[in-house]
Structure 1
Amino acid sequence: MAEMETGFETFADVLRRHAAARPDAPALTFRDRTQSFAALDEASSRTANALAARGVRPGDRVAVLSKNRPEIYELIYACNKIGAVLAALNWRLSSREIGLILADCEASLIIVDDTGAGLLALEPGLPVVRFGPEFDAMRSAAAQRDPGFAGAADDTALILYTSGTTGLPKGVMLSNRGMSYTRDLAKSWGMTERSVNLVAMPLFHIGGCGYGSSTMLAGGHTVLMEAVEIDEMLRLISRYRVTHTFLVPAVVQTLLNAEGVRSADLSSLELLMYGAAPMGDVLLRRAMDVLGCRFMHAYGMTESSGTVVILAPESHDPGGPRSGLLKSCGRALPWVELRVVDAASGEDAPMGEIGEIWLRTPMTMRGYWHNEVATREAITPEGWFRTGDAAYLDEEGHVFLFDRFKDMIISGGENIYPAEIENVLNGHPAVAEVGVIGVPHEKWGETPLAVVVRKPGQSTSADELIAYTRANLATYKCPSRIAFADSLPRNASGKLLKHEMRKTYGAAS
């Protein structure tokens, strides 16, 4: 059994500590049922012993395919208590994709809800356990003693599969060390034992299982939602006096458009974290006005175990002399090294010029499971992780995110970043949502196409929206076409699926 680093705690060790010090404090609420830290600790120990009895050994993968439910947290801790690895799978994938991922991760067993069961092949090739009576019986029959495994810093705790736009999603191996920084993130977000965190993002995503563990690891209360449902979100904030939450910009926009948002009691909210996609200063200003709490921009990704850059609440000042910072995602956290690298030269890009974000931090993934080639392409020999995100730095180290390099549009030799266009169009009073992609053009090679969802009861024309962008952007950046849609394709975490838009609207993938 590996010895723990000095000052280092695994997820399981943090739960053990809170269960001993504050056994009756609320840890986790789901559908108005609350577990204390002691109850969660005991349940996870029973589940750990049940998994071990089924032959799960240190290093083995246990897959879970389910919508959000409290047992997923239980499984995170249970696997940690026996040195196993939890592989959380995306239930929005197809049955074919799930089959390929299960074959890739070589799980010892898979635990599913009804949705997950419907995605499995008739013969999945590994034992299947259903949440509900079967899982409950398995847990209750096991001993309640803690197995006592103490994981090493470099042991893999989680495998999360990225939502890659082509080919098989890659399994990101997240270590105990990398995930241990979630406690430090909780402190930087102002979370304490008194905090109440609303978790609405899917737990198969780092924005769910990573951010979603932060308040729990700080000893506070986590309120879990099965999925984003705006009216229920407003009810839970009021009932449980929620202090913190993380929402992607698409959910923030939906929340602001809800009829009941201005009459809801949101007075307990202290901090709303946003990230996973650029919000744009237009939407951000509106959110600050309506919700009235502090805001913090978080930038990170699965491969970095979560957040590595933050724009602090004090930098959110729309009417102040530094309002331009609202377009930034902030500065690197103290334990993160960050560079913006020129793609052609491999050297640091001059200040103010766009390059690729490179990161070096103990939070960086161990690599991609069973994919040494992709790992070598992503992580340099010096330990720098190449994010694929385009950005520039100001003189104070603020990161101004433009877009994914793969989403950049090259029109007539000019680089165009869709986020700039989306930010402008989000300021139009008739626009509810917008996504911009590059589509083929005979003369320029590519040209921007904006796909717009109108607000209910609002009308606008393509010509009006194009004229609006030309009043706010250089002409070469403006979309030459506008398409209207009822909705935009998004994944479970709210990210816009540009590759799906390209398929629909005839652009190259």
Structure 2
Amino acid sequence: MTGPTLAGVIRRHAKDRADHPAVWYDGGTLSYARLGERTDRVAAGLAEARVRPGDRVAVLSRNHPSVLEVLLGAAKLGAVTLPVNWRLAGPEIAYIVDHAEARVLVVGPEFTDTIADIAPGLPRVRTVLGLGTAGRYPSYEDWLAGQPATDPGHQPHPDDVVVQMYTSGTTGRPKGVQLTNAGLLGRMGELCRFWHYDADSVNLVAMPLFHIGGTGAALLSLLPGATTVLLPEVDPVRIARTITEQRVTNVFLVPTVIQSLLDTPGAGDWSSLRVILYGASPISDTVLRRAMDRFGCDFVHLYGITECGGSVSQLEPRYHDPENRPDLLRSCGRPLPWNEVLVADPDTSEPVAAGRVGEILVRSPQNMLGYWRQDAATAEAFTADGYFRTGDAGYFDRDGFLYLHDRIKDMIVSGAENVYPAEIENVIAGHPDVADVAVIGVPHERWGETPKALVVPRPGAAIDPAELLEFCRRHLAGFKCPTSVDTVKTLPRNPSGKLLKHELREPYWAGKARRVN
């Protein structure tokens, strides 16, 4: 099999587009030649640290050029980059880094204390490097300067894993999604054509690189040799200013950020924008109409999932037609040409008729290789004929447009972050005053939905909601913590003991057309 690889792309652009800006960050610019040299040094340094092809290299940092340097440098060596969600709590980070068997960890200055606290849980990590002013650990820049700018010459295969991203699971343990060169880049040339990315694009990446939406967006400008404008994190005021000052042409945003931009005082100059890609959570008709009026560029709605390498379907600009086809504004569009998408009975995996709700299944060359070190979970995730079970419920209309309806898997999407109730329930169940617990998603005007905990107290005990929330914060990332707690006498269960969460959710979602907000 042939096709582009991360190592091959940066090697080519370092020669053919040597002087073109590759990455802009905080007022400074790396050319493709300079990026090529620095990634050679990364590869040399990783080799000196005894990193071998297939080993994992972890990065815990807000968006920074070094994250891309590690990604590309590791790829030149045949190693796999693990971008860690910096919003997680210390124990969660420790589990992920150790489970991935990472040999090297690059850490941003804000997170060095976290790494120091969890260091006993990272026995496999041999080298820790600090970015910026992270003085607790050896400096990444000093380490880089001490390496030879010599490409190791490893020739990767399109089927080699290059990125491992962790996504939470319904069992409460995160799973490492293995993404290959082919899965990430094999169809990206067509995506660039669909979404107006070319060598002259200026692509803003503000979404975190630990998400497929962040890394995928960065690769959309890397593949054609365009410029990536990188922001450390989502800041609507800074996004608006940067679009204006850097003449940004392309950007991927989640709906909550689009809404924040609309509500940010002061007008930006949006005239440079070609297209806004949006997705990761549903958008309201009102926000979408306002955005189309305000920004005056093409809009593309994407439905995707990490295990499917990013995008599954798209609602093209021509179907963003509030006057003639307002119904399509709530659609996820049609599957991308190379994706085979079925809506199937969740029990039999047999396709259901148009208009009927079922589980969305995807067979695609973009699909993950599998979950790292979790063969049983990988087997369970795919049907016998190779379709990935997304866990999302939806339906096709008669014209082949896909609509999301609900979630087969018990997942909450809060502000584009995936939150699995099982993780929260596992923590709350450990509280000494809790006899039983269920966590559900309830509507939220800004975040789409947020977790609510329904708690049965132990006999003689009383639940203090504020104290229970503080208990959660000590064990979970902030975005996973419930925003409300209700005490109940009992929780509904079927004869086998399974929680009937649809009964718990019903009062909060009654009257809503979709059971995702």
Structure 1: state its 5+ residue gaps: 409-417, 423-434, 438-444, 455-494
How far apart are 1:150 and its partner, in Å?
A: 1.4
Q: 1:215 aligns with which of 221, 229, 234?
A: 221
One-letter identity of the residue aligned with 1:375: T
One-letter identity of the residue aligned with 2:311: T
Structure 2: state its 5+ residue gaps: 133-137, 422-437, 448-476, 492-498, 502-517
SS in 2 for 1:108: strand
SS in 2 for 1:115: helix
User: What is the identity percentage for the equivalent residue pairs of Structure 1 and Structure 2?
Assistant: 43
2:264 aligned with 1:258, yes or no?
yes
Task: Report what 1:287 is aligned to.
Answer: 291
2:70 aligned with 1:72, yes or no?
no
Task: Report what 2:302 is aligned to.
Answer: 298
Output aligned runs, 1:91-490, within 5 Å: 91-120=86-115, 121-123=118-120, 124-125=122-123, 126=125, 127-132=127-132, 134-164=139-169, 167-180=172-185, 181-260=187-266, 263-320=267-324, 322-406=325-409, 450-452=443-445
CA distance in 1, matches of 2:270, 2:355: 38
Q: Is the 8 A contact 1:185 1:307 kept in 2?
A: no
SS in 2 for 1:401: strand
One-letter identity of the residue aligned with 1:251: V
SS in 1 for 2:139: helix
Q: 2:11 aligns with which of 10, 16, 37?
A: 16
CA distance in 2, matches of 1:224, 1:75: 15
Q: Is the 8 A contact 1:156 1:173 kept in 2?
A: yes
CA distance in 1, matches of 2:205, 2:390: 26
Task: Report what 2:83 is aligned to.
Answer: 88
TM-score by length of 1: 0.80
CA distance in 2, matches of 1:447, 1:19: 49
One-letter identity of the residue aligned with 1:366: L
CA distance in 2, matches of 1:369, 1:294: 38
CA distance in 2, matches of 1:106, 1:228: 30
SS in 1 for 2:102: coil
How far apart are 1:294 and its partner, in Å?
A: 1.1
SS in 2 for 1:226: coil
One-letter identity of the residue aligned with 1:281: D
CA distance in 2, matches of 1:502, 1:338: 35
Deviations 1:470-489 (A, max 9, x none): xxxxxxxxxxxxxxxxxxxx
How far apart are 1:274 and its partner, in Å?
A: 0.5
The change in CA–CA distance for 1:165 and 1:501 in structure 2 (over 3 A counts) is: farther
Deviations 1:220-244 (A, max 9, x none): 1110000011111111101110011
How far apart are 1:379 and its partner, in Å?
A: 1.2
How far apart are 1:453 and its partner, in Å?
A: 5.9
CA distance in 1, matches of 2:446, 2:219: 34
How far apart are 1:187 and its partner, in Å?
A: 2.2
Moved more, 123-132 or 142-151: 123-132
CA root-mean-square deviation: 2.6
2:42 aligned with 1:38, yes or no?
no
Q: Is the 8 A contact 2:342 2:351 kept in 1?
A: yes
The change in CA–CA distance for 1:164 and 1:118 in structure 2 (over 3 A counts) is: farther
Deviations 1:412-452 (A, max 9, x none): xxxxxx99xx9xxxxxxxxxxxx9x9xxxxxxx99995444
TM-score by length of 2: 0.78
Q: Is the 8 A contact 2:254 2:278 kept in 1?
A: yes
Q: Is the 8 A contact 1:237 1:266 kept in 2?
A: yes
Would you say how many aligned residue pairs link Structure 1 and Structure 2? 429
